Structure 1
Amino acid sequence: MLAFLQSASEPVSVIDVANELGLHKNSARFHLDALVEAGYVERAVNATGSQGRPPLVFTATSESPTISNLHLTELVQVLISSFIQPTPGSFELAESAGRTWGAGVASQEDQSGIALADLATHLGERGFGTTLDDETVTFTRCPFRATIAPEQLPLVCAMHRGFLDGFLDESGAGLETAELAIGPRICTATFEEQGAARAHSSIA
């Protein structure tokens, strides 16, 4: 209901809300009154000049919480297409940005001292479905998969890999991402001790 009011270009009536959401007008009025009481919606009289009692109309206030995240999704897509995608080292740039992001989260949030558990928790708070098994984090849900343009998803995945490494580095876990396996629905991140990949390369 609040999302409908926020998207409306002019004040709407109880009947407008009821018709849009498939509600009885009494139910619509009840929820509108609750939003008014919370300070998220303003109620006004629509002076039509006609005889009879003028109808009440409702508008969302500037204090109402944003319901849709479309503006954020579009902002991400614009930033990626304008500043990352055209760059020759686009994947390195995305990963570097992700490292900064992850390190910032690790430095600002309270930690339990169990780095991978903390990592899974903070990813969950950001819309990812995560499960933790030993040194593997499985992503059962990605909040970007259905909203970001398919050609931009690999860059978003690179940014998330950077997030993992930035978070773990700032946490002092001594771990880094060994592999981030991207699947059609489920992704899996496995971790190893920092520098292990370089050690393997030098031995080979």
Structure 2
Amino acid sequence: MLAFLQAATEPRSVIDVAEELGLHKNSARFHLDALVESGFARREVGATGSQGRPPLVFTATSEAPTIGNLHLTELVQVLISSFVEPARDAFPLSEQAGRSWGSAVASQEEEPDPDLGGLAVHLGERGFGTTHEDGELSFTRCPFRTMVTPEQLPLVCAMHKGFLDGYLAQSGSDLVTDDLEVGPVVCRATFTEHVPAARTA
């Protein structure tokens, strides 16, 4: 309902909302009143050119949270097509960007969890359906799979691989990503223990 109000170019009545969302007008009014009480919608008397009681109309306020993510999806696509795809080193560039991203997320915590479980939690907060078992992360849902073009998806995957390593490195983990297997539905990341190169005298 809030998304409908945010997309509207003019105030909407209870009947408009009820018809658009397939609700009884009493249900629509109830939820609209709740949005008003929360500060996410504004109620006012609509102007009419006919006699009779003018209807109440509703608009979303600037304080309302953004419900749709089309603007974010398009922003990602524009940034990738303009600055990443044309680069000769597009994949290393994507992975390094992801590494910085993951490191920044881990650095925001006082004691970041070096275990894969902590990493899985952060990925879940970012829209990934993530499970971890036996040193492996499985992604049953990716928020980008259907939102970016097939040509851009491998670059996004490279960025996510970098995120894994950046988070683990910043959290003090000895693990590094061994492989990120991108499947048609489920993706899997396996990890190996990083062994520092021996110093030579």
Structure 1 residue runs of 5 or longer lacking an equivalent are 200-204
Structure 2 residue runs of 5 or longer lacking an equivalent are none
Structure 2 counterpart of 1:158: 158
- Deviation per residue, 1:146-185 (Å, 9 max, x gap): 1111110000000000000100110110111011111000
Distance of 1:114 and 1:103 partners within structure 2: 12
Aligned pairs, number: 198
Report if aligned partners of 1:40, 1:64 keep a CA contact under 8 Å in 2: yes
Report if aligned partners of 1:111, 1:118 keep a CA contact under 8 Å in 2: no
Structure 2 counterpart of 1:202: none
Report if aligned partners of 2:112, 2:171 keep a CA contact under 8 Å in 1: no
Aligned amino acid, residue 104 of structure 2: G
Identity of aligned residues (%): 69
Structure 2 counterpart of 1:176: 176
Structure 1 position 35 matched with structure 2 position 35? yes
Question: Please, what TM-score do these two structures have when normalized by structure 1?
Answer: 0.93
Distance of 2:29 and 2:110 partners within structure 1: 42
Structure 1 counterpart of 2:167: 167
The RMSD of aligned alpha carbons is 1.5
Q: For 1:62, what is the secondary structure of its paired residue?
A: coil
Aligned amino acid, residue 5 of structure 2: L
Q: For 2:151, what is the secondary structure of its paired residue?
A: helix
- Deviation per residue, 1:96-119 (Å, 9 max, x gap): 000000000011035464421111
Distance of 2:19 and 2:165 partners within structure 1: 49
- Deviation per residue, 1:45-102 (Å, 9 max, x gap): 1122421111111000000011001111110000000000000000000000000000
Structure 1 position 14 matched with structure 2 position 17? no
Structure 1 position 77 matched with structure 2 position 77? yes
Distance of 1:9 and 1:127 partners within structure 2: 30
Q: Which structure shows the bigger proportion of residues in helix conformation?
A: 1
Distance of 1:14 and 1:78 partners within structure 2: 37
Question: Please, what TM-score do these two structures have when normalized by structure 2?
Answer: 0.94
Q: For 2:67, what is the secondary structure of its paired residue?
A: coil
Report if aligned partners of 2:99, 2:159 keep a CA contact under 8 Å in 1: yes
Structure 1 position 59 matched with structure 2 position 54? no
Deviates more, 1:186-195 or 1:31-40: 186-195
Structure 1 position 115 matched with structure 2 position 126? no
